[in-house]
């Protein structure tokens, strides 16, 4: 059997990682400014994380959600305290797309409406409803086309208000910062107005913080720059530093009902042990503050490059847009300068390093980046 060939691959076999560095099978070291799509939050092979998951899997890796799992309760308490939503509920699943699927479903149960408002350049996942609210038509199969979705421009509150006042919109789903869309940042005033109009029309506000959350923006969640509180927040990627895990942080306006949501693997013992370790590391090593500090340095230094058309970002979520395709620059960064980065479209480089990126690593990246330009 061969792999189903849907990923174009770089000719690099990564076999080891530590902190913000990875090594290939030939012993070559790379600086990791991408963290495997923003998944590596506390760094590769962090000893506290390794210890936690090793000890847990040696004791009990999994049992079903039909029994008490105190690790889920411990994790929920820690997460509520860390993110400032200790009065909300937590539902645990496995992936970002699955989190958004459940958020859209829960919203529709709540107000018994069908339509969803999403935004141009958005990305929310590749499964049934999640891909339909994603603004990438080529990802949408005919079987996904049933959901009624209206796309509006980011930061256009007038367009949002016009749709919501029709009274049939179940939810608005928006990223704290658009990732695949090129690190597009919603205006703080727009976010505040969006919260207000959702409240006025009994529309559920879903904040997709899968890429922009968990400290990446320099706050625990990117929407906290606007001082708002959504009805549902979806989290994944950095939540467990590489183990599949995701969650819904759910407002107390929702009443849980047996059988309404469900999962086999979600909130399993191994993932919870890893996620608790991640939160402990974030707190002890002040990684949210580090993301803000090192991110501010990178943004300031990158502004000195006239070749970059536009720089967008908060914390360690940064987009570098060029006038021309960046394939050559990114290829040079990887194969000549040994730096992993990401892309958004043809013209934008995405930087999503682990939150433990040091100032020395950031300076080293600037030096290597300069050589590619």
- What was the pLDDT predicted at 23? 98
Mean pLDDT of 151-178: 98
Write the DSSP string, 286-338.
THHHHHHHHHHHHHHHHTT-TT-SEEEEETTEEEEE-SS--HHHHHHHHHTS-
Would you say how long the chain is, in residues?
A: 373
- Could you write out the DSSP letters of every residue in 168-217? -EEEEEEESSBTTTTSB---HHHHHHHHHHHHHTT-EEEEE-TTTTTTTT
Mean pLDDT for the chain?
97
Residue 66's alpha-carbon distances to 70, 248, 264, 269, 274, in angstroms, are 13, 19, 10, 13, 21
Average pLDDT over residues 83-111: 98
Average pLDDT of the residues in 104-115: 98
- Residue 115: strand pairing partners: 169
What pLDDT does 193 receive? 98
67-81 per-residue burial string, b: 16 or more CB within 10 A, e: under 16? eebebbeebbebbbe
Domain 14-46+287-372 has CATH 3.90.1150.10: yes
Return the SS3 of 357: coil
Q: What is the pLDDT at residue 170?
A: 98
Give me the residue spans of the domains in the chain.
14-46+287-372, 48-284
Answer whether 155's CB lies under 8 Å from 187's CB: yes
Opening angle at CA 275, ends 295 and 264, nearest 5: 130
Angle at 100 between CA 33 and CA 106, to 5 degrees: 155
| 269-324 per-position pLDDT tens digit | 999 999 999 999 999 999 999 999 999 999 999 999 999 999 999 999 999 999 99
179, 123 contact by CB (below 8 A): yes
Contacts of 173 (CB under 8 A, 6+ apart): 100, 103, 104, 116, 117, 118, 122, 124, 133, 206, 208
| pLDDT at res. 350 | 97
Q: How far apart are CA 121 and CA 11, in angstroms?
A: 29
* pLDDT tens per residue across span 17-50: 999 999 999 999 999 999 999 999 999 999 999 9
Q: Is the domain covering 48-284 a CATH 3.40.50.12160 domain?
A: no
Q: Is the pTM of this model over 0.85?
A: yes
What proportion of the chain, given as a percentage, has pLDDT over 70?
Answer: 100
pLDDT tens-digit series, residues 325-338:
999 999 999 999 99
Percent of the chain with pLDDT over 90: 100
């Amino acid at each position: 059997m061969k792999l189903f060939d849907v990923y174009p691959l770089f000719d690099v076999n990564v076999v080891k990682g530590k902190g913000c560095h990875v090594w290939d099978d030939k012993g070559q070291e790379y600086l990791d400014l991408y963290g495997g799509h923003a998944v590596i939050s506390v760094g590769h092979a962090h000893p506290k994380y390794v210890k936690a998951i090793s000890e847990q899997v040696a004791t009990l890796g999994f049992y079903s959600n039909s029994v008490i799992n105190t690790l889920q309760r411990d994790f929920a308490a820690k997460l509520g305290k860390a993110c400032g939503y200790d009065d909300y509920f937590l539902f645990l699943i496995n992936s970002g797309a699955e989190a958004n699927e459940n958020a859209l479903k829960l919203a529709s149960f709540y107000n018994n409406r069908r339509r969803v408002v999403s935004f141009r350049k958005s990305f929310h996942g590749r499964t049934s409803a999640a891909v339909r609210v994603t603004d990438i038509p080529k990802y949408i199969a005919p079987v996904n086309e049933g959901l009624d979705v209206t796309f509006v421009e980011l930061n256009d509150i007038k367009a949002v208000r016009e749709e919501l006042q029709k009274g049939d919109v179940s939810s608005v789903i928006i990223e704290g910062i658009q990732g695949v869309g090129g690190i597009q940042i919603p205006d703080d005033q727009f976010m505040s107005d969006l919260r207000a109009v959702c409240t006025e029309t009994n529309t559920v506000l879903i904040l997709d913080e899968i890429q922009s959350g968990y400290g990446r923006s320099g706050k625990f969640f990117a929407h906290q720059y606007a001082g708002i509180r959504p009805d549902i927040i979806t989290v994944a990627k950095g939540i467990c530093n590489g183990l599949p895990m995701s969650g819904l942080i759910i407002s107390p306006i929702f009443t849980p009902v047996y059988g309404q949501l469900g999962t086999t693997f979600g909130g399993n013992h191994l993932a919870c042990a890893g996620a608790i370790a991640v939160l402990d590391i974030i707190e002890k090593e002040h990684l949210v503050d580090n993301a803000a500090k090192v991110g501010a340095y990178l943004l300031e230094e990158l502004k000195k490059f006239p070749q970059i058309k536009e720089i967008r970002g908060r914390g360690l979520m940064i987009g570098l847009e060029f006038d021309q395709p960046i394939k050559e620059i990114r290829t040079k960064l990887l194969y000549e300068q040994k730096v992993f980065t990401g892309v958004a479209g043809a013209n934008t480089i995405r930087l999503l390093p682990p939150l433990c990126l040091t100032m020395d690593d950031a300076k080293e990246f600037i030096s290597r980046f300069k050589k590619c330009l």
